[in-house]
Chains A and B, each alone.
Chain A
Amino acid sequence: MATTSPGHANVTGPTLSRRDFIRTGGVLVVGFSFIGTKALKADAGRPAAMKNTLDPTLPGSWIEIHPDNTLLIRTGKSDFGQSTTFTAYRQIVADELSVPFEAITTVVAGDTDSTPDGSGAFDFLGEGMPNIRKAAAYTYQALLDLASERLGVPKDKLSVKDGIVSGGGRTISYGDLVKDQQLKLTIPVSGDLTSIMGLTIEGNPPMKPVSQYSVIGKSFKNSIISSKVAAKTTWATDVRLPGMLHARMVHPKTLGSTLVSAGTLDKTKFPNSQLIVKGNLVGVVAPTEWEAIQASEQVASGTKWTEWKGLPGNEKLHEHLRHQADWTSTPVAKGDANKGDAAAALAAAQKRLSATYQFSYMKHAPIGPTMALADVKPDGTVHIYTHNQNPQALRGEIAMMLRTTPEHVIVHVYPGPGHYGRSNGGNAGAEDEAVLLSQALGKPVRVHWTRADDMKWSTQSPAAFSDVQLAVDEKGKLAAYQIDHYMPAMQDDRPIGAVLAGLPTMQAPQPKGDFVSSTVNGISDPWIYAQTPNVMELGHGTFQVGQQASPLAVGLRDHSMRTPGQFQQNYPRELAINEAAALAGADAIQFRIDHASEERVIGVLKAVRDASGWETRPSPRPDAVATGSTPVRGRGVSVMLRSRTYWACVCEIAVTPATGAVVVEKYTIAVDPGIVVNPMQLKRQVEGGAMMGVSHALFEEATFDESGITTSDWISYPIPTMSDMPEINVVLLNNPKVGTYGGGSEAANALAAPAIAAALHDATGRILRRLPLKPAYVQAMLKT
């Protein structure tokens, strides 16, 4: 997700101290100390910031160097399939420390009691300066200091290769530098451990010049893949504790129902099961999973809930958003690129486009539903075993729910099904429910949601619409561009079980929330058409749909999802730019190039043009047809700047007008992230993202009626199969002169939609300004 980082403070730097001499072993550990006033600062409405409960000399430090020349690194960022913690992070540390990739033998990630920094599993390469890089840079300087002292050679006369320091004709390994000593390097940090952003390492240690990188840029394998493939990984779903009970939840009938009466558990059929009710939270536990499943279904059939019909239903969603939603209570966000006088230029223009673009609710839809195992100990200590993108934030949320402090909550993180942002604010569902059931029973309880629970009771990626007005002048140039983005709040981090049980949680999204829970709809799609003289981008925010009407204060809860917010803004912009090019009678790639100033924007566009075999001409194609049962073909383009990486794609489609069926035949994508850290892993990430992009563009729409989500499984929420896969061609543009690296796991999923919609226009001469491009919607549009 898009993030803002705290300002970097200049500090006096790190301190290295020697601790007790020890006879065997020895280690250099890199701990931390808080600096400045940012420490312990809490965001409004969030759990109070905690200092880290760990002794920095114990596990929890960033980096350890061992006498056998091996290294261990720790990060709060859990791997969700991005591979970054196991590949890029090791490569970055290896180059900063001048050690081989293989010297980093252990990566500890995620667990709240053994990792230092918190934050979510997003933007791993944060501004090109992830915490782990700075920690390595500080460590390198400390190792040079130690070597200088040991070899009697000034620091600037030393050189390092493969973990061996040379100077004055002598050499010493890192392992020998730390042997028989216990060394602690303390480095400065700021931030709030249990906030969404976690801690940030401060200061400006010297960094290795790009010219000296030898590990970055190579295709190292992801070490966790071999264990997953061999069934040797312990997944969150595999964790079992002695005395553990299995649970299934009986969630309310609607998103606004309160409990009238829980069904009676049939003890003759399910003698070992128990029913737990806490407010509107209903759960059934049993020693075996199959009994819990059957008993919960029996209880559910007899449970009575109040009726509630407070949602517009998906067929009236956009009418509701346009006319009923409250867009006035939330301050309007303005784009950084706004300039000139768009309104005046639009009024004066001859060739104008005025159009609305609609974006549906989508589910994160992990391939396995969410689950968690909780063990609330008699002394109140809570252990949670789960799969989580921000375990430190979860720790804060659980502590708030239990009216305790985060020190009493430990989150153990295991691999699980990717859920693409759903838990980057702390919870994915089930964690808090497992805690409440375990607390009630005094035993470990494992809550596993059903597929339907996961579709109906999880958060979703918010729907949105955007109004575009643009004008093209007589020279075919974009004279003015105005876009008004409308989107309900995107980040509701309240744990649902706590809400149902009536226990303390953070506030629901509201205009004065902090930067994550606010209803403000910031402009998150950087403007790249710098040669446009008049630009106005505005973001309008509101409450979640149903949030205020629901007696549970639930409604359609939203949460950021892969390329969050920017997807909702880039889709209308890029489709509108395709339309602008058509209005100007210009080729859609050349039109973009002619309006961009930045070399890297132009670079990715030219690269994708060459790689796709793009024919330069205006859209629609001269022989476009909107009728008939013969497939017609078209192509479209889109471009995005995200997390310092420049992306462009060309999608080629075949559409059958009579049925409205769209098939993506070829997807060519060019990526300039600056330095490519790991070509193989980046290529695989982009291919997967491209496939998800086809899914978002063609298939995904979470449907709902007046009471709740009606999407419940893979039939009602289809995603692509292998047969839906286009030919995918990834072009990686390694661009070391940029001097840093950008993200690679997002953007590809969002780029497809405007390019595919533009390809539909190219093929048929008709434009569908609504996602997804389902056959029924395409067919209906072509018929009008």
Chain B
Amino acid sequence: MANKKLTWLLLGALLLSLCAGCSGSLKKEDTPTTITVWHVYGGQTDSPLNDLIAQFNQTVGKERGINVQVTSVSNTNTIHEAVLASANGEPGSSELPDLFISYPKTVLALPDDSILVDYRDYFSEEELSAFIPSFVEEGEVDGRLVVLPVAKSTEILYVNQTAFDRFSEATGVTMDALKTWEGLFEAAEIYSEWTDAQTPDVPGDGKSMFVHDYYFNYFQVGVESLGESFFDGNRLAFGPAFEQAWNLLAQASLNGGVWLRGGYATESLRTGNSIVSVASSASILYYSDTVTYSDNTSEEAIINSYPCPVFADGEKLVMQRGAGFCTVKSTPERERAAVTFLKWLTEPERNVDFVIRAGYMPVTQAAFDNYLPQAIEALDSPKYASLYQAFLETQADYEFYVPPQVETYLELETCLEDQVRAQLAQGRREYLDAAEPGSELLERISQERYSTFRQILGE
């Protein structure tokens, strides 16, 4: 009997040691779970998010065996194309990363949005209730929360104050003119004439005062602020308010007051080809304090921020921007790692630390209430202090406009951006080449270009 007991005891010990061996073989802490990220925060500049990711990897990442690797920092459109190519399995496309930045429009364009994690599977209701509700709603597609907000931006008016003050002194145009679109475009025409007059021997070399990063947003928010609907289903409505916005822009453009080349608004400010722009608050990273002219001389410039202009007879409406993070479904381990990072990034204090360096607003109420005011006070860069002052004024005086989820959104946006620039640039050339320029000709060219523009957009 005693022998039997001994046998069973030994067998039990053996089984236990085998089990211990099995569990011991998974040394998770030795091989971190590496997750890849495509994001947009910083573009080609020093990325504040990359710094935070490095911080995460060295602290929480090391503790929990997670290593976040940034494999692309670009813009939402590039990511949109890459994500769609990858999701559609197009030849030559990259493998989708674990995390990528996207607007809901990218998710809507996906052939199958079930490849994305529903954050409700990983965030408790309590955790989600910490976020600003409208930000969370924006990330919902077909009842699933697939885009998690981490930072929100709006549109801001940036002014090269050094250059504008010179212009103001010479012409009497004040900063008040930049509060409305009407005033801004009128000032742009004056600026073009003024700069042209500085080189009397070279006619028609006036410079543009103004550049808009997204003319699509100018029209969208402008039309909506004038009480009209911008979209008509999946197309543009083209109501009278749209025409009103077009006429203002066209007149200033044909007179040379608006920069119509492609690229971001920062380019023309950096090269001294324009001095006022409307762009995302996140563009602050790309505005340089130095303007470099074509003769390789450079000038230190003060870049100030102001709330976005509005139509004189329109509501104070401004675009709410800012994409969010999508997590691609993979293994529970990788998904958990990705969500761990996102939770870490959206903790109120850290979220403020991140957004304040990137020109964004935080996404949780606690961050707004408890950390943002102190962070703004502590800003030592006048450029950033000015931006957040404009942010606060915008928040106090404006209503935020959130674009609707329209399937053709990106298509319409891309087409409108190209065509506004192309048609107005052609109009500008026609006007410059005309033997007898004047308001009548200007109006005719404007209408012709609008008609072509509508035809192309209508198709």
Q: Do A and B bind each other?
A: no
